[in-house]
Amino acid sequence: MENNVKPANGKLGILIPGLGAVATTLIAGVEAVNKGLSQPIGALTQMGNIRLGKRTENRYPKIKDFVPLANLNDVVFGGWDVYADNVYDAAMKAKVLEPGLLNSVKAELEAIVPMTAAFDKSYAKNLDGTNVKEGTRYEMAQALMQDIETFQEEKNCDRIVVLWCGSTEVYFEESDIHQSIEIFEQALQDDDKRISPSMLYAYAALKLGIPYVNGAPNLTIDIPALVELAKQTETPIAGKDFKTGQTLMKTILAPGLAARALGVKGWFSTNILGNRDGLVLDDPDNFKTKEVSKLSVLEDIFQPEENPELYGDLYHKVRINYYPPHGDNKESWDNIDIFGWLGYQMQIKVNFLCRDSILAAPVALDLALFVDLAKRAGMSGIQEWLSFYLKSPQTAPGLRPEHDIFKQLMKLQNTLRHMMGEDLITHLGLDYYQDLVELL
Ligand SMILES: NC(=O)c1ccc[n+]([C@@H]2O[C@H](COP(=O)([O-])OP(=O)(O)OC[C@H]3O[C@@H](n4cnc5c(N)ncnc54)[C@H](O)[C@@H]3O)[C@@H](O)[C@H]2O)c1
């Protein structure tokens, strides 16, 4: 097979709506890595390897040496926020990274000043920033397109991706205006309030053929209108909700229990966190969006309808509590009631003292680099192979998402192999045992 992926020439602009904890940790991290001060730990695109060919060939290149990804030195950041703080000030306020590290990249961070945001307070009531655009939905969308084009020109970027790291918007369900791009564009003209701010960014990006990633759980590119627009403009999309902390652990542990046919009666998950994300999620309407995203994971992995004896009675509960003293250092507790041979009960306790944005930043980086790769590989629409990074992976209509992190990784790696014209790996491995092959 041949590969037809265009090379990653020139600069890649990563434009981020929401320059808060995750975004500033990502930007400062990339600047620190570029200065040789730190390592991009947790980013598969930078640190991960991929096996190629048979095990006997011993080919395990770094992913970044195998697929043509944008080099971190060629990445330029920009973004929007409802607060006017530059990235250095926002990062200092987020208190994720040490002042020492931030000071070593201070000039680079201070130079990134947020553009005015497309915002509607009814979608995030706990925010009260004033760095916002005036005008109707339609005017805001036009202004966002102008922002993107101006940024691309001024920074001399070859390509752009847009990566939503904004607050989680309130929970709402899609309605008639979200069903096709034609109706959606009419609703934009009518300044229909059912178009959320995040949809304005997605619309602006997709209209320009720019890949869009949704790092939060709110409804955005998962409405039929924007999926249609992505196909029309041949643009990749990926969403939604970065898979970090507790859900990451869940999708590592649950497949292991299911693999051994161990039963699960209950899974109680609680979190405390004190950053601005926690403040926004303190509003029940915003929490509902997150809760829906977090709850879907176990159902898919355990498939209780297929395995009623093991998972039919599973009680799954997720709580998030805003607790300012912990800042970005989220703490989660999971109590898992499992049962084994003859129904005998056991318990697993997981207490993860994590750092939310430290886990999210490499995920955000990988997603941005991979959607840019997808665009150059001619892949458009929903990029299900990026499920690996997401709590609520977007799939084709009617297709159940895959949440098992190991299957997601295999899908991601095989997609990269496929893109580059390498053999896919099934892990069958019978060909190492010629006698068995002949027998079968
Ligand atoms: N950190 C994680 O582990 C993690 C995991 C999954 C998802 N997320 C999601 O990622 C998002 C970012 O998380 P965070 O910790 O950086 O939150 P944060 O509150 O620190 O940053 C979000 C920023 O978005 C800005 N914002 C809100 N609405 C906006 C709009 N319409 N336009 C422009 N800016 C807007 C806010 O002012 C804020 O500065 C949240 O939605 C969060 O739920 C985070």
Instruction: Please check the confidence at residue 277 and state whether its pLDDT lies above 80.
Output: no
Which residue's CA lies nearest to atom 39 of ligand 1?
20
Query: If you take atom 12 of ligand 1, which residue's CA is the nearest one?
Result: 165
- How many A from CA of 277 to the centre of ligand 1? 6
Clarify whether residues 257 and 235 are in a common domain. Answer: no
Q: 81 forms bridges with which residues in the sheet?
A: 116
Domain boundary among 353, 386, 408: 353
Tell whether ligand 1 has an atom less than 6 A from the beta carbon of residue 170: no
Does residue 18 have its Cβ closer than 6 Å to ligand 1? yes
Q: Whose CA is nearest to atom 42 of ligand 1?
A: 216
- Cα 26 to averaged position of ligand 1 atoms, centre (Å): 12
Residue 6 lies in a domain: no
The answer on 304 and 181 residing in a single domain is no
Task: Specify if 406 maps to a domain.
Answer: yes
Same domain, 279 and 368: no
Instruction: Report whether pLDDT(273) > 90.
Output: no
| 229 and 278 belong to one structural domain | no
pLDDT at 84 over 90: yes
CA of 95 to the centre of ligand 1 (A): 15
Q: Tell me, yes or no, whether 76 and 25 share the same domain.
A: yes
pTM for the structure as a whole = 0.95
Mean pLDDT within 34-61: 96
Q: Give residue 104's identity as a one-letter amino acid code.
A: S
Cα(296)–Cα(388) distance, rounded to whole angstroms? 15
In a domain, residue 113? The reply is yes
**In this structure, what token pair is assigned to residue 213?**
């990633």
Could you give the CA distance from residue 30 to residue 20 in angstroms, rounded to a whole number? 15
Higher-confidence residue of 54 and 292: namely: 54
Tell whether 224 and 276 lie within a shared domain.
Answer: no
The structure tokens listed for 211 are 């890949």
Q: Does residue 297 sit within a domain?
A: yes
- How many Å lie between the centroid of ligand 1 and the Cα of residue 210? 21
State whether the beta carbon of 114 lies less than 6 angstroms from ligand 1. Answer: no
User: For all residues of the chain together, what is the average pLDDT?
Assistant: 94
Specify the CATH number for the domain of residue 47: 3.40.50.720
141 SS3 class? helix
Give the separation between CA 253 and CA 260, rounded to whole angstroms. 11
The Å distance, Cα 124 to ligand 1 centre, comes to 11
- Say if residue 276 is in the same domain as residue 382: no
In this prediction, residue 432 has a pLDDT band, given cuts at 50, 70 and 90, of: confident
Establish whether residue 388 lines the binding site of ligand 1, counting it when its CB lies within 6 angstroms of any ligand atom.
no
Ordered alpha helix ranges (H), 263-380? 276-281, 284-302, 308-311, 356-376
Is the CB–ligand 1 distance for residue 21 below 6 Å? yes
Q: Same domain, yes or no, for 220 and 257? A: no
Confidence at residue 255, expressed as pLDDT on a 0 to 100 scale: 96
**CA–CA separation, 32 vs 36, rounded Å?**
6
The boundaries of the domain holding residue 271 are 245-353
User: Could you report the per-residue pLDDT of 93-148, keeping only the tens digit for each?
Assistant: 999 999 999 999 999 999 999 999 999 999 998 888 899 999 999 999 999 999 99
Q: Which atom of ligand 1 is nearest to the CA of 279?
A: 19
| Residue 342 and residue 374 in one domain | no
Residue 113, phi-psi category: left (phi > 0), alpha (psi -120 to 50), beta (remainder): beta
Which of 80, 167, 271 has most ligand 1 atoms within 8 Å of its beta carbon, as the pocket-test mutant? Answer: 167
Cα(14) to ligand 1 centroid in Å equals 16
For residue 363, pLDDT over 80 is answered with yes
Ligand 1 mutation pick, 277, 288, 330, max ligand atoms within 8 A of CB: 277
Residue 423's Cβ-side half-sphere holds a number of Cα atoms within 13 Å equal to 10
Q: Is residue 224 pLDDT above 70, yes or no? A: yes
Residue 19 covered by a domain: yes
CB 141 within 8 A of CB 118: yes
Residue 417 C-alpha to ligand 1 middle, in angstroms? Answer: 33
Residue-level pLDDT at 429: 85
- Among protein residues, the one with the nearest Cα to ligand 1's atom 33 is 81
Q: What is the residue with the minimal CA distance to atom 25 of ligand 1?
A: 18
Number of domains within the chain: 2
Q: Of 207, 178, 183, which Cα lies nearest the Cα of 194?
A: 178
Which residues are within 8 A (CB) of 92 and not within 5 positions of it... i.e. 6 or more apart? 99, 102
CA distance 329 to 278: 11
Residue position matching structure tokens 């599973």:
314
pLDDT over 90 at 390, yes or no: yes
pLDDT of residue 202: 98
CATH number at residue 335: 3.30.360.10
First to last CA, the chain: 28
Measuring CA to CA, which residue among 224, 217, 95 is closest to residue 164? 217
Amino acid at 282: D
Distance, CA of 331 to CA of 355 (rounded, Å): 8
From the centroid of its chain, how far is CA 69? 18
Q: pLDDT-derived band of residue 2, with 50, 70 and 90 as boundaries?
A: low
* Rounded Cα–Cα distance for residues 202 and 205 (Å): 5
Q: Do 126 and 181 belong to one domain?
A: yes
Asked if the bond preceding 391 is cis, omega within 30° of 0, the reply is no
194 & 289 share domain = no
- 346: in domain: yes
Mean per-residue pLDDT, 30-57: 97
* Residue nearest ligand 1's atom 9 by CA: 216
- Is the distance from the beta carbon of residue 83 to the nearest atom of ligand 1 less than 6 Å? yes
Query: Residue 240: pLDDT band by 50, 70, 90 thresholds?
Result: very high
Whether residue 61 is found in the same domain as residue 124:
yes
Cα(168) to centroid(ligand 1), Å? 6
| Ligand 1 close to Cβ of residue 221 (< 6 A) | no
When comparing pLDDT for 68 and 436, which is higher? 68
359 touches ligand 1 (CB under 6 Å): yes
Q: Which of 353, 374, 401 is the last residue of a domain?
A: 353
- Asked if 120 and 98 touch (Cβ cutoff 8 Å), the reply is no
Q: How far is the CA of 18 from the centre of ligand 1 (A)?
A: 6
Token code pair at residue 349: 């306790």
Neighbours of 276 (CB within 10 A): 20
Closest approach atom of ligand 1 to CA 242: 6
Inside any domain, residue 431: no
Ligand 1 center to 390 CA (angstroms): 15
